[in-house]
Structure 1
Amino acid sequence: MDFYQSAGTLVLGSRLRRLGERFLSEVSKVYEAKGIEFDPSWFPVFYLLDEHKKLSMRDISDQLNVSHSAVSQLTTALIKKKLLKVEKDENDGRKRLILFTEKGEELVKKSKPIWASIQLSMKEITEQNECQILKELKILETSLTEKSLSERVLDNLEK
């Protein structure tokens, strides 16, 4: 029996990480095969900026539910690669907005057919197996928002 199967929920986080890494690795192969220099870890920021055109780091952080520091590190790296740029908000000069450069917009244009194919392929996988993973993940995320895992573990230790 597979280790992850036998350990069950005890290794759920490790199992989800392993699955995520597998997806990212497979998607990297697709970009490489198509000659597109795109790191799949950039996708959430690229997707948001493609939808909204300009966002502050705080907006990106809030929408992705990740730390401001993580967004800052990623956007700084993408600015160095000349894929993103920063401009001041016209309404609030203190606020900095992140947006695509021409090079970044061109990369999005090249990447969109891959995004569509990934979406179709993932839909095929989940429908073929009657998988309700998105629904189940939402339930799990909501439960963890209501009461964190650390709180639950500490409460159970007190019982």
Structure 2
Amino acid sequence: MAEDILRTLGYLALGSRMKRLGETLQAQTQALVADTGADLPAAQYPLLEALERLGPTKIGVLAAVLGVAQPGVTRMVDKLEAAGWVETQRDNDDRRVRTVRLTATAARMLDQARKDVWPTIEAAVADACATGTGPLLDRLAALEDALKEAPLARRAAAGRKGGEDGRS
């Protein structure tokens, strides 16, 4: 196996390493979501949950509560609107401002996801995060190794089978 350059750079590459870890978790979470038959990208759940909690909300507010740049939220909203998950309405005073709200379909899907999908994902990620001790870089290495050894899907399947730890 090739040397993991990001690991060898230690704290110098922490941001890149965290981004890689985030992308790994996102991809593995998406695989679990796809197994449920949901056709919504897992990355969109936080935006939909924010709308569920806040009600109809302006894009700028969504960007602030999610900690994401406004152009990114605008792109997400456009995709969600095209798919029928949200509806938007232009502000009467400033046509550049849009308020976003969930559709009834999205609200039902979120309710179902909270019951059937999110607990499985939560348990699988918690299992992966239970590895490693000590300094942050050692814990990151343990988490990366754990996700390679037993991806979230395997951990989730093991959890459904009765609490096995999912590791090989």
Distance 1:49 1:77 in 2: 15
What is the match of residue 38 of structure 1? 40
Structure 1-normalised TM-score?
Answer: 0.70
Task: State which drifts further: 43-52 or 71-80.
Answer: 43-52
8 Å Cα contact 1:126/1:132 also seen in 2? no
Identity of aligned residues (%): 18
Distance 2:103 2:93 in 1: 20
8 Å Cα contact 2:85/2:102 also seen in 1? yes
What is the match of residue 62 of structure 1? 64
User: Hey, which bits of structure 1, 4+ residues long, moved more than 6 A?
Assistant: none
Q: Which amino acid is 1:49 matched to?
A: L
Q: Which runs of 5+ in 2 are unaligned?
A: 137-168
Q: Which amino acid is 1:119 matched to?
A: E
Distance 2:120 2:135 in 1: 20
| RMSD, aligned α-carbons | 2.5
Select which of 106, 109, 113 maps to 1:107: 109
For 1:1-159, list aligned pairs within 5 A.
Answer: 2-87=4-89, 96-112=98-114, 113-129=116-132
User: What's the CA shift for 1:120?
Assistant: 2.6
Structure 2-normalised TM-score?
Answer: 0.66
User: What's the CA shift for 1:130?
Assistant: 5.4
User: What's the CA shift for 1:70?
Assistant: 1.2
Which has more helix, going by share of residues?
A: 1
User: What's the CA shift for 1:22?
Assistant: 0.6
Aligned residues: 131
Q: Can you list the C-alpha shifts for 1:44-71, whole angstroms capped at 9, x where unaligned?
A: 2012112222211111011112222111
Q: Evaluate the alpha carbon distance shift between residue 130 and residue 106 of structure 1 in structure 2; reply closer, same or farther with a 3 A threshold.
A: farther
